[in-house]
Structure 1
Amino acid sequence: MDARNLRRPLALAIVAALLLPGMAFAQTAKEKELEARIVQLEAQVQALLGAQQRQQDALAQQQGSIEQAQAKLDAVQVAQADGKPKLQSTPILTAGNPDTRFSFGGFIKVDAMATSTNAGEIADGSAGRMFYLPSAIPVGGADESRTDLDTHAQFSRFWFASDGEVQGHKARAYLEFDLFGGGMGNLGNQASTNTHGVTLRQAYVSWDKWLAGQTWSNFQDVAALPDAVDFVGPTEGTVFVRQTQLRYSSGPWAVSLENPQTVVSAYRGTARTTSDDGNLPDITARWTSKGSWGHFSVAGIARQLRMDTATSHASGNGYGLSVSGKVNLGASDDLRYMLTGGTGIGRYVGFALGPDGTLDAAGGDIESTGVLAGFVAWRHVFDPKLRGSLMLSRAQLDNETGWTGFGVTKSAQSIHANLIYSPFPKLDVGAELIWGNRELESGADGDLRRLHATIKYSF
């Protein structure tokens, strides 16, 4: 073979040697790229399968919950007698506006009181046997060395309310009742039935800034009342009235027109007459400031006194001012107070401890009775379950003895100390020691000593 023939195969061999590794290298890179894409696709498939499995598990769990709930509902329906309506089978507010919310609440309160007096006995079945009522403290009678025990559940309470918005206006309706019924034995007797009537406490409607109906007087600061075991506590020192009214509130201000009623004493006597002959409403105004420190409030009242008889038409005027509030003293203490003064406002203070006024000899004029009353109460929280309060209260009446005589109340005062234990939320078990005193214009007086225990459960 000549040189030319040898040169051609050699060139082909060299070319093959140069090309084959590149082709092998190119084939390997493409395979690796394909393998990477396959791995990525497998990961995506696994993720989709995992998500599907989780969704199936959640659906299975939800189906199990539905089946359990249906089983319970079936059990309740089987247990109910045929023909009886199911619980809330129809809407509670069938005539209510859309989005109206209905609520219900109250408390059960059981009271036991051991009472002794030194100048007579408080009449059986009267309000003074049920809560601290300074005007009921006997004066001038025999010393009652023995102790009277009274028990009742008449201050248990329940209420209904509906709240909602009607065409952009906030509306509320509220009804509240207790079982006071006018006192023990009003409908039944303690020997057998202990029947007591339902008593209307509040019934009003409010919309936006307006309120109409029966509720606490605008002249009273309910937020300043102490944490008492007794129904009120420092009764003689506080304004305490519920009545029908029309009220307008805006920011810190509230004004109202309220039911006129006049309590009048006879000339040189202790007998009282309640008159609804007034033709002008009682007018009140209140200003309140609130903050994390507590609240402060000032209220004023102006009113007409009037009593008509077949032979005379007596009239007079009344006015008063009340300052009250609550001061937070750290996380565990607060101080509550009220100071009220005026003339012709007797029925507003201390459950009408004194009258609004006294008739003159001819029955043609009403002499307004002045009053100055107040209380201070310190509350301390020992721990989340135990709290206590100490209260001091006094009222002084400015009687014109030439008109009233000397048998009317001149002053009343009391001291209260209590402890309230709450073993769990909404349940209170408490006891309160009460000392009260009432003095007449003649100088005669009487004392009351009471141990008041209570159990109260709110719902």
Structure 2
Amino acid sequence: MTQRSALMARRPLAAALFIALIAPGMAFAQTAKEKALEARVAELERQVQLLLSSQQQQQTQITTTQEQVTQVQAAQAAKPAVPAGKQPIQGTTIMTAANPGTTFSYGGFIKMDAMATDTSDGRIADGSSGRLFYVPSTIPVAGAGADGGDPYADFHAQFSRFWLSADHVTDSGDKFKGFVEMDFFGGGSNALAGNETATNTYAVTLRHAYVSWNNWLAGQTWSNFMDVAALPDAVDFVGPTDGTVFVRQAQLRYTQGPWSFSVENPQTTVTPYRTGTRFNSGDNALPDVTARWLTKGDWGHFTVAGMVRQFKLLDETDTGASVSVSGKFNLGKSDDIRYAVNAGQGIGRYLAFGVGSDVVTEADGDISALDGYGGFVAWRHVFSPKVRTNLMYSASHFDNDAAITGFGVTERTQSMHANVIYSPFPKLDLGAELIYGQRSLEDDREGDLKRLHTTVKYTF
């Protein structure tokens, strides 16, 4: 074999040996790369799983949020709409114990009264109601030679009041209402209260407290025998008190269209035989029964009411019936006439804060209803949106039998009122009223009252 041939034979062998030597390295390199790739793939898979899990959590949160938004929207839709331009006080109902959808309202007024009074026959007792507003029965009557002394002044804010109302309408259209109203015309609750020495503190007193359900009403409010809508625009608490039916008491009332009927708390005021004094018996067994018919329109309103009562003192009883005709008649946009005529047997407790008695006792102990009547007329004129004035006349009369009642009982009262009320801003009233009142007894003795009554009243 030549040298060239030997060299050619060794070349494949060298190549084989070279391949054999580098093959394990190449295999090792391939294995490390694959492992690195596998690690990267595993990391990518882990990151993808994290992304998928995060996306699922976000989707769950979005779904939960959408459900909550839907619930809030449904709850808001069930609530009464907030008037345009106004914001709700809070996001949830203020009446947590009421039926869902119940609306709450609050209102009232602050009223400060200041008055100067001159009475002909002595002063009205300090602390009595007659020092706070016009009460005919408190006008002193002392007879010839009596001297009323100098005029005297009183300031107070006891007729400030507030009310709370809860109204609800069911899905079927049933209407419910709960209403409470209070003022501060009452006695004090401690030794320093209810007097003018230091604190002038007066207790909260109940005016109205009733619930109504559609046509039914139960609780304390104005008597169905009283026409509140006919009351004049007075600076005084009532104004033409002498001829006004004015009673608030517990009752059950039903109203259907123009008709309303009620059974109300009974009470009998009694004048004992020949004493001239008066007391409440509290012996009644049957309620006072009333009925009213009302018609109204752009012209005003007109109403007629009737009442039947039982009077009782111990075992003695009597009955009586009364009637009231009242209304308001509009004389154009700036004027109206308001009026009432009331008469009946045993009407005393209902008329003029009880200026007369319901019944009198006779010598043998029997009781008999006392006839009485009264009324008022008032003219209201509006000069402008800020200024208005009212003129009023009112009177009451009782048919006492002096042989039974004695001569010291009230036979008649009357009063005249003239006022001007200025409202510089809506809901703010500044008023002044001149009052002349007179009370006459059965023996013809008379006493009179002259008063300038001013007020500042803000309604909210």
TM-score w.r.t. length of structure 1: 0.78
Distance of 2:361 and 2:405 partners within structure 1? 9
Tell me how far 1:324 sits from its aligned partner. 0.1
**Residue in 2 that maps onto 1:208:** 214
Encode CA deviations 1:45-97: one digit per residue, 9 max, x unaligned.
xxxxxxxxxxxxxxxxxxxxxxxxxxxxxxxxxxxxxxxxxx85863100111
Instruction: Check whether the contact 1:314–1:359 (CA below 8 A) recurs between aligned residues.
Output: no
**Residue in 2 that maps onto 1:17:** none
Instruction: Check whether the contact 2:381–2:388 (CA below 8 A) recurs between aligned residues.
Output: yes
Distance of 1:189 and 1:145 partners within structure 2? 23
**Residue in 1 that maps onto 2:398:** 397
**Residue in 1 that maps onto 2:182:** 177
Encode CA deviations 1:330-376: one digit per residue, 9 max, x unaligned.
0100000000010111100000010101112232x212111110000
Distance of 1:255 and 1:188 partners within structure 2? 38
Instruction: Check whether the contact 2:163–2:181 (CA below 8 A) recurs between aligned residues.
Output: yes
**Residue in 1 that maps onto 2:168:** 164
Distance of 1:170 and 1:244 partners within structure 2? 21
Return 5+ residue gaps in structure 2 as ranges.
1-88
Of the three residues 217, 225, 235, the one matched with 1:229 is 235
Instruction: Check whether the contact 1:126–1:183 (CA below 8 A) recurs between aligned residues.
Output: no
Instruction: Check whether the contact 1:186–1:197 (CA below 8 A) recurs between aligned residues.
Output: no
TM-score w.r.t. length of structure 2: 0.78
Matched position secondary structure for 2:403: helix
Tell me how far 1:220 sits from its aligned partner. 0.2
Encode CA deviations 1:293-350: one digit per residue, 9 max, x unaligned.
0000000000000012xxxx22111210000000000010000000001011110000
Distance of 1:201 and 1:132 partners within structure 2? 19
Of the three residues 104, 112, 119, the one matched with 1:110 is 112
Encode CA deviations 1:199-228: one digit per residue, 9 max, x unaligned.
100000001100000000000000000000
**Residue in 1 that maps onto 2:261:** 255
Distance of 2:90 and 2:196 partners within structure 1? 37
Instruction: Check whether the contact 1:186–1:196 (CA below 8 A) recurs between aligned residues.
Output: no
**Residue in 2 that maps onto 1:430:** 431
Tell me how far 1:229 sits from its aligned partner. 0.1
**Residue in 2 that maps onto 1:285:** 291
1:37-186 equivalences under 5 Å are 88=90, 91-140=93-142, 142-168=146-172, 169-182=174-187
Letter in 2 for 1:265: T
Instruction: Check whether the contact 2:249–2:264 (CA below 8 A) recurs between aligned residues.
Output: yes
Instruction: Check whether the contact 2:188–2:194 (CA below 8 A) recurs between aligned residues.
Output: no
Distance of 1:272 and 1:230 partners within structure 2? 26
Matched position secondary structure for 1:103: strand
Matched, 1:198 2:204: yes
Deviant stretches of 4+, over 6 Å: 183-186
Distance of 1:236 and 1:449 partners within structure 2? 15
Judged with a 3 Å threshold, the aligned counterparts in structure 2 of structure 1 residues 254 and 433 are, in CA distance, closer, same or farther, namely same
Of the three residues 333, 336, 348, the one matched with 1:334 is 336
Judged with a 3 Å threshold, the aligned counterparts in structure 2 of structure 1 residues 138 and 151 are, in CA distance, closer, same or farther, namely same
Distance of 1:389 and 1:197 partners within structure 2? 32
**Residue in 1 that maps onto 2:8:** none
Instruction: Check whether the contact 1:120–1:138 (CA below 8 A) recurs between aligned residues.
Output: yes
**Residue in 2 that maps onto 1:12:** none
Distance of 1:418 and 1:325 partners within structure 2? 21
| Bigger mean CA offset, 177-186 vs 375-384 | 177-186
Tell me how far 1:270 sits from its aligned partner. 1.8
Say how many residue pairs are matched.
368
Distance of 1:270 and 1:282 partners within structure 2? 25
**Residue in 2 that maps onto 1:345:** 347
Distance of 2:408 and 2:194 partners within structure 1? 34
* Superposition CA RMSD, Å: 1.5
Return 5+ residue gaps in structure 1 as ranges.
1-86
Of the three residues 226, 230, 245, the one matched with 2:251 is 245
Letter in 2 for 1:284: T
Tell me how far 1:266 sits from its aligned partner. 1.1
Matched, 1:386 2:387: yes
Judged with a 3 Å threshold, the aligned counterparts in structure 2 of structure 1 residues 231 and 94 are, in CA distance, closer, same or farther, namely same
**How many percent of aligned residue pairs carry the same amino acid?**
60
* Greater Cα radius of gyration, structure 1 or 2: 2
